Chains A and B, each alone.
Chain A
């Protein structure tokens, strides 16, 4: 069908007034399709951690591939952005959960938002693993 069909629906609520939305501090860099990520703390974090081992990157890639049901021939690099691979917000959260389980770490919500690529996930994981008290 050579057309773009759309359907619209509208819902009405009783009358509204304009109201001020108070805005606070931090700045964010947005990902186009719905999820907001922070650029400020991301750049700080990258300054203090070293690049993750290739092994970690591979493990993260495997988890991402599984969560997003990627075919074997999908090109995947450490710099691959989750959104470019088709991850939506729910996928990203599931990926974070899987990473927590795999590496036995706990990811803060604010850190979880900063993960947009495989490399960033791997960096964060190694950071957290390093910080864990010795078993």
Chain B
């Protein structure tokens, strides 16, 4: 079903779906979005419930970030609908049994819609949305420089697994230790979010994530078995069906991705960084206030998704 685009909406450049082996990660930096009328038009993409939630945020920065998060999700998913143009406003969302958000395709003819999975994460300075096909995905982003108010080891002892505490305690430089702590946090969050069953399905101290020897950015999930034969023996099983990758985004953030993958036996993960200057502008230039107009002069870069009518 094709919805007509109104209000001078310009088409969003369609995206090729990720293959089953891929995860696409889209991210934006809220501090790069300054135009008030653009934000106003983004707010018109949101559902009434989403708008209410945005308004509940205390403070303009938080409202803006909440708005951008929903805009990112809606426009990104809409771009993957290659069979027909999809108005980002028409997308509907629902929650699974445990509260994880997912796309609700009920309004569309279902046959051609790909089984897209998505997950979002945000910090005050970066918002990210991961997209996969067929497999669940979880992502988490954190600012690399984020300071932990508590002692890092005390925090880890309280929440992380014993092996992770051991790993962190071997790091002597407190700055490196803090960074490794943050990396582990994002990986663990990404796993719980990919699992999609809520936090209690996988309390942080019941599983260990460790980096794969000889790789950079690749990690393994190991669980500490609950049944131990004696206190000296610990059965650990590494779960190959969950894949992890840790990336550095925009030089400022760590981003962890976790997807489900049935293929046991490891194998390298390759990370392709495909930078596209995508301008999601959904208003025609006549709606721009004078202070914003200048940015639309000049040529658009080659991969510009912005197609004028």
Contact = CB atoms under 8 A, between A and B. Distances in A.
Contacts of B203: 109
Nearest to B56: A84
A110 B259 CA distance: 24
A46 B260 CA distance: 37
Contacts of A23: 96-98, 197
A84 B57 contact: yes
B135 A18 contact: yes
Nearest to B289: A2
Contact of B21 (A13, A35, A80, A89): A13
Contacts, number: 225
The SS class assigned to the B binding surface is mixed
A44 interface: no
Contacts of B245: 11
Nearest to A11: B271
A28 interface: yes
B267 A14 contact: yes
Interface stretch (B82-90, B121-129, B207-215): B121-129
Given A3-B281, A7-B250, A30 B185 contact: no
B71 interface: yes
Contacts of B260: 16, 19, 21
**On chain B, which size bracket covers the interface?**
35 or more
B276 A11 contact: no
B56 A29 contact: no
B280 A38 contact: no
A27 B257 CA distance: 25
A85 B58 contact: yes
Interface of A: 1-19, 21, 23-24, 26-38, 66-67, 74-75, 80-81, 84-86, 88-90, 93-94, 97-98, 109-110, 113
27 contacts: A2-B35, A6-B26, A7-B249, A8-B24, A8-B25, A8-B26, A10-B25, A10-B274, A11-B271, A11-B272, A12-B22, A12-B269, A12-B272, A16-B135, A18-B135, A23-B97, A26-B98, A28-B99, A28-B198, A30-B100, A30-B101, A33-B120, A34-B193, A36-B100, A85-B58, A86-B59, A89-B189
